[in-house]
Structure 1
Amino acid sequence: MELKTVSENYRYCNSLTNYSRRKTIPVRVGDLLIGGDNPIVVQSMTTVDTMDTEGSIEQSIRMIESGCQLVRITAPSIKEAENLRKIKEGLRKRGYDTPLVADIHFTPNAAEVAARIVEKVRVNPGNYADKKKFEVLEYTDASYQAELERIRERFLPLVKICKANGTAMRIGTNHGSLSDRIMSRYGDTPLGMVESALEFLRICEDENYHDIVISMKSSNTQVMVQAYRLLVQKLDEGGFKPYPLHLGVTEAGDGEDGRVKSAVGIGALLEDGLGDTVRVSLTEDPEFESPVVKTLISRYNNRPEISGIDPIENSPIDPFSYNKRKSVEVVNFGGGNVPRVITDVSLISEMQPKELRATGHFYLPELDKWKMNDLGCDYIYSGKEAVPFMLPNGIKEILDHASWKIHPERKNKFPAVSLGQMVSGEELHPSLNFLSCSCEEVVEALPVLSNDLPVVIVLSTEKAHQMQALRRAFISLIEAGIHLPVVPKVTYTDADAEKTMLFAATDVGGLLIDGLGDGVLIGLDRLTLGSREKTLEQVKLHNSVSFGVLQAARTRMSKTEYISCPSCGRTLFDLQETTAMIRKRTDHLKGVKIGIMGCIVNGPGEMADADYGYVGSGKGKITLYKGKEVVKRSVPSEKAVDELIGIIKQDGQWIEPEENDHH
């Protein structure tokens, strides 16, 4: 990779090593200020039908009580937009003055009504003035300009109403619903997403209207992060005002997967000081979203600006496109291998075969056999004490050097060595060794490293800015031409499960998105240990989060992926129930991506990423997709899952689930 200067080429953040929040203009939404020096704002979206006034009020109150500072409600047509007045009045009567946002797709007339009632309107530039037909269009510069004039005509009335009423606006690009015009000119790219927003932004700026927040959402975390970074650079280059950013990963899913996927994309941007308001899109009741956002942003409330990490003058990493760091192959690390999962079991003494299930490896005593599920780790790190039984074939063991040196059986056991031990010439394994090295020691380690050593570097840091410290160390290795595989190791002194999911996804996911990392290791922390049972629970969590982070960053697909939207008032079926039902029937299909969408708004484009799609198209009616192609329309919902499985079978992607797939 040729070196480029951060300051000249990569203007998307203030610093790659300190925590420094991007300076934006503040935007007023009711009594709330987004951007400027104000704290990051927590928001969420109702899932009740907007015409259910009482239901919408009750749900909004539950959301506000759980920490939501901005409530978004869908307004798919004029009648819903008008009903926002009743919802707002009902909330004010109950003593809640939380600002409301109307969510608009396809219907400019509904937006114009809503903008006179609520404090903010969200428009999607992909479908505000365009109907999607999936056509490839040829434009001359003149015909493209004519299209922009047509958009101006559709959009201008809303801008004028917002300006006159002091209503804020979010220009929210969705990767899933870029217009045919943008797709034809820019393709399905981060640049296309940015241009889609800028077309609308130019119209606002021409009218001297600046109460604007912008978002670049995608269900693909790599695309999402690249699009936000590119947006910041393009705003800067184009002489636009520095507008605040709304961060979110669309259709993240539910449970642990939804939290990990959201944190990979959102966390990577927060670390670089981007983001002024955040929504986590979970396929769960909306009052569960705000606490996740609060945990995610809590890390930045007291983070010192100055990290004490050496600045990065030149970054060899292109922040706008994915390039994996070049690495040599050492056994099954680096080179063309998928990133490996190392699971730390070092604080469990005299481990029993049945306890290995926490790492995805199951002993079946009646058959005297081992079985591995989708989350079977590649290596265990057992520290000072070797596991006292013969390990199954799918797993190898890492021991501290002193214990490895005296172990009689070293075939599938490999040493973890310190820098001091390497320097003093301790005996190494002929094919694979793990150099435990702090980020701060990397520069010191460079003279003893070379690309023909059988070494994988395990990098860790004590710094609060873990992601920045790890990134700095990676860049030192790249600059020195060291291509040995590197596994980032992160440890958290707070054993809270949700924090572990969100923080590991931020710190390791942020690196993986930039092509850095040949594996993942979440360390056990002695301070947080409880009973043996608790420790095993923690091992199980670390193991599954490791696989989840690799999957969410698109670097290793180990399980079925569900791209499911959070429900909203547009949803045509019970999304949570349907997602659970589809998951139950299909979650043994490794690496298959299934999109489950409540309606067409985030539909085919967001699902472009999915292999198969299940989309609500009318009450009790489902449209089934293969990729972007409609395969079956208006399937009754009670038959739709069977029909979906039929399509997967026809495609040759189906395998029968094994009896004991669900441990």
Structure 2
Amino acid sequence: MTTVDTMDTLGSVEQVIRMVDAGCEYVRITAPSIKEAQNLENIKKELRKRGYQVPLIADIHFTPNAAELAARIVEKVRVNPGNYADKKKFQQIEYTDESYQAELERIREKFTPLVNICKEYGTAMRIGTNHGSLSDRIMSRYGDTPLGMVESALEFVRICEELNYYDIVLSMKASNTQVMVQAYRLLVNKLNEEGLQPYPLHLGVTEAGEGEDGRIKSAVGIGVLLEDGLGDTVRVSLTEEPEFEAPVAKTMVHRYYDRAGHGPIAPIDENPVDPFSYGRRHTREVGNVGGQNVPRVIADISRLGVRDYKDLKGIGHFYLPEPDKWRMNDLGADYIYSGYAPVPFMLPNGLKEILEYDTWSTLDDKVNKVPLLTVRQFLNEAHQHNTINFVAVGLKDLDAVLLERLKGDATVILVLSTDNKHGLAEQRRAFFELIRNNLEIPVIIKRSYADLTDDQLQIYAATDVGGLLIDGLGDGVMLGTEIAAGGKSREEMQNLVQSYNNTGFGILQAARTRMTKTEYISCPSCGRTLFDLQETTAMIRKRTDHLKGVKIGIMGCIVNGPGEMADADYGYVGSGKGKITLYKGQEVVKRSVPSEKAVDELIEIIRQDGNWLEKKSEI
């Protein structure tokens, strides 16, 4: 989506060209009023003049007359059913069946002219529901739920079908990845149930943010749906220049181009996991893994060759010589896997070391260090740890003999890995086998990758691990370094271990299963934006990135304001040139705050709410 003011014809054209050259196959441009809708024609003419035939999509929210004009010009219009015919005032309204039906008739009257124009001009339409902008009417009847999102879109779809218009794409965007995935799955299910057309799906995590966090969060939401076989177009919403979005989306999609061959995965008769709601798989507690514990992160340092304290800095553990103490940051690994090479110094209290069984069995310390066993060792070796035994398994290992033995051992944590190109499906199938056999054993999800770029690592791992976490499966994550370690220098291995550790924590946060840092729900900017989103996001992040678990919405305009940041604890929303409105949840706290004072005022609101902490000095 473009970020230049739509009235800036040449600026818009130049940006569209940069996006297309970066790999974008559709371009969306905001049309908040009639004048912007009219100028789409000038933008389109200039693009065609320069030889660019890319389809254009007009982004419409509150203005049906702008949509009706844009539909005569561009290839597709996007309407948001939450605000196309409704106004959101965050009111709870009681409806009878008759009064609700009357509201549907009102929507039909307002929406029908656009449908007829689209039919006449051969224009496609995206009916795009956003979790944060559900109408008061939908919220009053269905609540703030995936079902409410689906019903919001289906009200418009039913009108389209009654008018014999089928050139429709549907989307169910949310910043909360769990809600987003559930909504898309439920939408497909409802289309089937009602006998409606199997419309194409446009996938996206709205307000994903920037940098590593934005990429991981997008992949957790989009990747699992692609793995489900859902999705026809993809948009990655990053708070960055729009030409940086398409390469990330291509990395997600192109991964499936060579996925034809894979190991067999046994079919199931019934899904033991509800795909339409989140519920974490019930497991027993072993050590601090499973049960009610947050999912754990295991850092693989086995190829690093640890020599001294400094080697643990990359995984969040810092030794301070002066007080002779260890300190851990919010991304401090919970366990380290050192393989066959024990760490040659005393670890910080609470950090346990996992070693291969053959090495562990020779050590004097068999309490603070714990073993990783093969299936054969687990079944045959008598001497094991008294309380924690990690056992490496794959789907093929879960036979009757192992399953029976697991039933009688309360010390086991499984480390589930796969070599299958369809690894998520295989690992999900392994979880189903455990559930089917009523085994409440904690499971660490392990994935290993060959040399990847940073983007590839974040996207692949977030898809593979996050897709399981979204379904409530998994009690921890381990990104193995064994495949990627070959030929790397010591410094390169230190960077790799740190990258893997940070990615593991990022996936848990994006899947909403463990919050270890501040979450920024920031929109990707568009022609409506009233301030520099990238600069402002960086400024707010610098002041607040130590507020663990706090969610801050940073929205460029009122369209992406209190609704779109539905999950945020606090909000910073552009309300005019140089003016900011500040929110606590969805409640306005201060209006028209000068932008130069707005960050200080935001921090004061957080402080008054009891959620402010002073920043610790850098280590």
State yes or no: 1:247 paired with 2:220: no
1:113-262 aligned at under 5 Å gives the runs 113-262=69-218
SS at match of 2:536: helix
State whether structure 2 residue 49 is matched by structure 1 residue 87.
no
One of 530, 544, 558 as aligned partner of 1:572: 530
Return the offset for 1:363. Answer: 2.0
Identity in percent: 69
1:389 is displaced (CA, Å) by 1.1
After alignment, is 547-556 or 444-453 more displaced?
444-453
Q: 1:225 deviation in Å? A: 0.2
| CA drift at 1:371 | 1.5
Q: 3-state DSSP class of the match of 1:162?
A: helix
CA distance in 2 between partners of 1:305 and 1:109 (Å): 50
Question: 2:163 & 2:408 partners in 1: Cα distance?
Answer: 58
RMSD: 1.1
User: Residues 468-518 of structure 1: CA distance to partner in whole angstroms, max 9, x if unpaired?
Assistant: 010000000000111010011001113322111101100111111110000
Q: Cα offset for 1:527?
A: 4.8
Quote the Cα distance in structure 1 between the aligned partners of 2:103 and 2:90: 17
Report 1:317-466 matches (<5 A).
317-444=273-400, 445-450=402-407, 452-466=409-423
2:260 to 297, 301, 304: 304
Q: Give the deviation of 1:370 after TM superposition.
A: 1.8
Query: Given the alignment, which residue of 448, 458, 463 partners 1:506?
Result: 463
- The separation in 2 between residues aligned to 1:76 and 1:365, in whole angstroms, is 59
Distance in 1 (alpha carbons) for counterparts of 2:261 and 2:611: 50
Gap change, CA 1:595 and 1:394, over 3 Å in 2: farther
Q: Give the drift of 1:358.
A: 1.1
- Mapped pair 1:485 → 2:442: yes
Letter in structure 2 aligned against 1:607 = M
Q: Say whether 1:657 aligns with 2:580.
A: no
Measure the CA separation in 1 of the matches of 2:58 and 2:105.
25
Q: What residue is the counterpart of 1:554 in the other structure?
A: 512
1:645 maps to which of 590, 600, 603: 603
- How far 1:440 moved relative to its partner? 1.7
Whole-Å separation in 1 of the counterparts to 2:320 and 2:29: 51
Post-superposition offset of 1:606: 2.9
Is the 8 Å Cα contact of residues 307 and 343 (structure 2) preserved in structure 1? yes
Q: Does 1:273 align with 2:237?
A: no
Partners of 1:619 and 1:348 in 2: how far apart? 52
Instruction: Please state how far the C-alpha of 1:425 moved relative to its aligned partner.
Output: 2.8
Check the 8 A contact 2:78/2:127 in 1, yes or no: yes
Q: Is the 8 A contact 1:127 1:177 kept in 2?
A: yes
Q: 1:604 Cα deviation (Å)?
A: 1.7
1:562 Cα deviation after fit: 0.5
3-state SS in 1 of match to 2:520? strand
Q: 1 CA distance for matches of 2:27 and 2:218?
A: 19
Length, aligned pairs only: 617
Counterpart position of 1:29: none
1:60 counterpart = 2:21: no
Deviates more, 1:138-147 or 1:448-457: 448-457
Change (3 A) 1:357 1:306: closer
Deviation at 1:659, TM superposition (A): 1.3
Q: Given that residues 400 and 415 in structure 1 are in contact (C-alpha distance below 8 angstroms), is that contact kept between their aligned partners in structure 2?
A: yes
2:504 corresponds to 1:582: no
Q: Is the 8 A contact 1:495 1:528 kept in 2?
A: no
Which residue of 1 is the match for residue 491 of structure 2?
Answer: 533
1:106 matches 2:49: no
Deviation at 1:430, TM superposition (A): 0.5
Residue of structure 1 in register with 2:480 after alignment: 523
Q: Deviations over 1:398-433 (max 9, x none)?
A: 000111111122332110001000111341110111
Closer/same/farther in 2, CA of residues 306 and 202 from structure 1, 3 Å limit = farther
- Give the structure 2 partner of residue 636 of structure 1: 594
SS in 2 for 1:262: helix
Q: Counterparts of 2:82 and 2:61 in 1: how far apart (Å)?
A: 9
Contact 2:174–2:205 (CA under 8 A) maintained in structure 1: yes
Deviation at 1:602, TM superposition (A): 2.8
Taking the aligned partners of 1:306 and 1:490, their CA distance within structure 2 comes to 16
Question: Deviations along 1:19-62, whole A, 9 cap, x unmatched?
Answer: xxxxxxxxxxxxxxxxxxxxxxxxxx111111111110111011
1:617 matches 2:575: yes
Compute the displacement of 1:394 (Å).
4.1
- Are residues 1:543 and 2:473 paired? no
Q: Is the 8 A contact 1:331 1:432 kept in 2?
A: yes
CA contact (8 A) 1:451 1:482 kept: no
The 8 Å contact of residues 342 and 521 in structure 1, kept in 2 or not, is answered as: yes
Q: Distance in 2 between matches of 1:320 and 1:130?
A: 27
**Separation of aligned partners in 2, 1:532 and 1:373:** 23
- d(CA) in 2 for partners of 1:65, 1:550: 34
Q: Which amino acid aligns with 1:555?
A: T
Q: Which residue of 2 aligns with 1:35?
A: none
The amino acid that maps onto 1:110 is A
- Change beyond 3 A, Cα 1:527–1:182: closer
2:427 paired residue number: 470
Tell me how far 1:278 sits from its aligned partner. 0.2
Residue 528 of structure 1, CA deviation: 4.5
1:439 Cα offset (Å):
2.0
Structure 1 residue 369: Cα displacement: 2.6
In the alignment, structure 2 segments of 5+ residues that lack a partner are none
Aligned equivalents of 1:600 and 1:515: distance in 2? 34
Which deviates further from its counterpart, 438-447 or 196-205? Answer: 438-447
- Structure-2 separation of matches of 1:323 and 1:270: 21
TM-score, normalising length from structure 2?
Answer: 0.98
> Partners of 1:99 and 1:607 in 2: how far apart?
29
* Partner Cα separation in structure 1 for residue 540 and residue 368 of structure 2: 39
Deviation at 1:452, TM superposition (A): 4.2
SS of aligned partner of 1:143: helix
Aligned residue for 2:521?
A: 563
- 1:336-376, Cα deviation, whole Å (9 max, x unpaired): 00000001011112432101111111123344332211100
Task: Please state whether the residue corresponding to 1:289 is helix, strand or coil.
Answer: helix
Question: Is contact 2:205–2:218 with CA below 8 Å preserved after alignment?
Answer: yes
Structure-1-length-normalised TM-score: 0.92
Instruction: Give me the whole-angstrom Cα distance separating, in 2, the residues matched to 1:393 and 1:89.
Output: 67
Is the contact between residue 451 and residue 483 of structure 1 (CA under 8 Å) also seen in structure 2?
no
Provide the rounded CA distance (Å) in 1 between the counterparts of 2:452 and 2:376.
30
Q: Which residue of 2 aligns with 1:24?
A: none
Secondary structure of 2:399's counterpart equals helix
Opposite residue 584 of structure 1, the aligned amino acid is K
1:279-324 C-alpha deviation (Å, 9 max, x unpaired) = 0000000000000000011111121176511112211100001111
CA contact (8 A) 1:174 1:602 kept: no
Structure 1 residues without counterparts, runs of 5 or longer: 1-44
Q: Is the 8 A contact 1:177 1:603 kept in 2?
A: no
Q: Secondary structure at the match of 1:573?
A: coil
Query: Whole-Å Cα distance in 1 between the matches of residues 483 and 161 of structure 2?
Result: 55
Question: Are residues 495 and 532 of structure 1, via their aligned partners in 2, closer, same or farther at CA, if it must alter by over 3 Å?
Answer: farther
